[in-house]
Structure formats: structure tokens, C-alpha cells
Amino acid sequence: MRLTDAQIAEFDREGYLFFPEAFNPEEVKLLEDEAKQIFKLDREEVWREKSGVARTAFAAHTYNEAFRRLGADPRLITPIEQLLRGRLYMHQYKINAKAAFDGEIWQWHQDYGTWARDDKMPEPRAMNIAVFIDEVTPMNGPLFLIPRSHKAGVLEAGHDLESTSYPLWTLDRASVRRLADEGGMVAPCGKPGSVLLFHGNLVHASPPNISPYDRTIVYLSLCEVTNHIRQFKRKEWIAHRDFTPIDALPEGSLLELARQKQAEKRQAVAAE
């Protein structure tokens, strides 16, 4: 998935790009099945809401083959290499679950604000690219973005340690209102397999999910290798310390694994 000059100009202007259904149903079904198994694991990388349901699973690419392949998929790596103008390493990898009825909020924040304060990342030459595992609708806790807010730079923030199970550097209401008045708000929604990428300084949040439908999104936080973090106070599985450039896998690697898993299931059923 290589970006055109027009798409690069749109990203520079708005701070995000959205690609509906970039991954096919077979690939998404594999990721959905694997994510459900990961959320059941008793691992320190799996953080839970106060209700006990999974909120975030960190670093799944280090212990799960499907998510390893997703983390090196050319549809995700190539456009970010274009935008950041260099090779990339994986700063953070997380599967964010916003469970039906119980998914809590993600407060208003900038990702680079956290990376700069907690990890001493020198510049905002890092960003997120997200893959929708479930359909994201206006009802099940979509991501809210404030277009063009990335042009405001790094904003003042407070460290919220109480609102949810995950600590976050959050913005004050006056700043959010001012930026929304200037840029408006959008909530990209789409089918499973859709892809959203956005600037590290773009202000965003998501509301609680009180609908009866899950909303799971995988986030790759990719950083240009020379811009790697300088501080290591967070656990390695939250802020990675392996700055090796990612070599994108051949096209079709994830689909190949999905079909292999499907064949194994059919063989297991036939053997019963």
C-alpha cells in the first residue's frame, strides 16, 4: 500500500488517513481468533479493565505468529516509511479491546506526548497505524480525532493515574474545546480490516463502549530508527528497546498463515 502524493499532502494537512477494508476477511478472521485467545492469557502484558475484561494486550508480535506477521506487513510498513522518510522500528504494539458493555474510555491525549515524557523520544517522527479487527461503528466506541490538531505541537498535559486502569498523559478540556472549534471532530468507522493511520501529535480519544458489540483495534506504534527512545523507565514490552529496522514481509504472508490455519482446522475436524 504505497501512498500517492495527494494522500501524503492530505496527511500533512489533516493529520490522518483512512483506508476501508485494506485486509481481507480471511486475514481478519485469523487475527480475531488469535486476539480472543490472547485476551484469555494470564500474562503481565494483558491489562484489564476494572471489571476484569481485557483492555490492552501489549507486544503480541513477540509471542504470536499472526501478530508478528501483521507487524511486518507491507501494507502497514510502507506508508509509514514514506511519511516518516526512513526505516522503522516497533516502539509499541498493542491490541486494544473495547469490550461490549464494559469497554472504558481513552481520555483526550496525544501519543507523542506520552512517548516524549515517559520515553524521551526526541521528535514526533513516530506514529500509529491501526487495523480494525471488529467493525467500528458510531455506537461501539470509535476513535475520535481532531483534524489538524497535530499542527499545534506538543500540548501541556497532566498524568492521569486514576480514571482507567492505564495511566495516560491527558489534555485539559479548554485545550480540547479550542482545537475542536478550530478543526472539528471525526470518528472514522468501517468494516473489519480497515486501516487508520494518524500523526503522533494528533489529539484523539474514544468513549466507553456500552453497546452489545465488541470493538477491537490493533495499533502499531512505529518510530523512525534514528529517533529511538532515550529513556527506559517503562517495561520493555510497553516501550520496546530493540531498534532494529523492520524488514517488511512479502505480500500475502498473513493470508498464507490464515489459510494454513484453516486447513489445520479442517484436518482436525475430519480426524474426529
Tell the residue number behind the cell numbers 474510555, with chain if given.
105
C-alpha cell at 103: 469497554
Give how many domains the chain has, as a whole number.
1
Q: 223: domain CATH number?
A: 2.60.120.620
Cα–Cα distance measured from residue 207 to residue 196, given in angstroms and rounded to the nearest whole number:
17
d(CA 85, CA 223): 11
Look at residue 49 in the predicted model and tell me its pLDDT. Answer: 84
Tally the C-alpha atoms within 13 A of residue 98's C-alpha that lie toward its C-beta. 27
268 CB-near residues (< 8 Å, 6+ apart):
none
Contact between residue 112 and residue 200 where contact means Cβ atoms under 8 Å apart = yes
How wide is the angle at C-alpha 32 spanned by C-alphas 31 and 38, nearest 5°?
Answer: 85
pLDDT in tens, the chain (272 residues): 899 999 999 999 999 999 999 999 999 999 999 999 999 999 999 999 888 888 999 999 999 999 999 999 999 999 999 999 999 999 999 999 999 998 888 899 999 999 999 999 999 999 999 999 999 999 999 999 999 999 999 998 887 756 655 678 899 999 999 999 999 999 999 999 999 999 999 999 999 999 999 999 999 999 999 999 999 999 999 999 999 999 999 999 999 999 999 999 898 888 87
All three cell numbers of 253:
504472508
Q: How many whole angstroms separate alpha carbon 24 and alpha carbon 178?
A: 39
Sequence-ordered list of residues with C-beta below 8 angstroms from that of 192, at least 6 positions apart, any chain: 21, 23, 25, 28, 32, 132, 133, 134, 135
- Domain limits at 90? 5-271
Q: Positive or negative CA dihedral for 205, 99, 137, 15?
A: positive
| Strand arrangement, sheet containing 158-160 | 144-145, 204-206, 106-109, 168-170, 158-160
Q: How far apart are CA 203 and CA 119, in angstroms?
A: 19
In the numeric block, the cell 476477511 is attached to 25
pLDDT at 29: 97
* CA–CA gap between residue 41 and residue 73 (Å, rounded): 25
- For cell 514514506, name the residue: 82
Contacts of 134 (CB under 8 A, 6+ apart): 32, 140, 192, 213, 214, 215, 216, 217
Q: What pLDDT is stored for residue 168 in this prediction?
A: 81
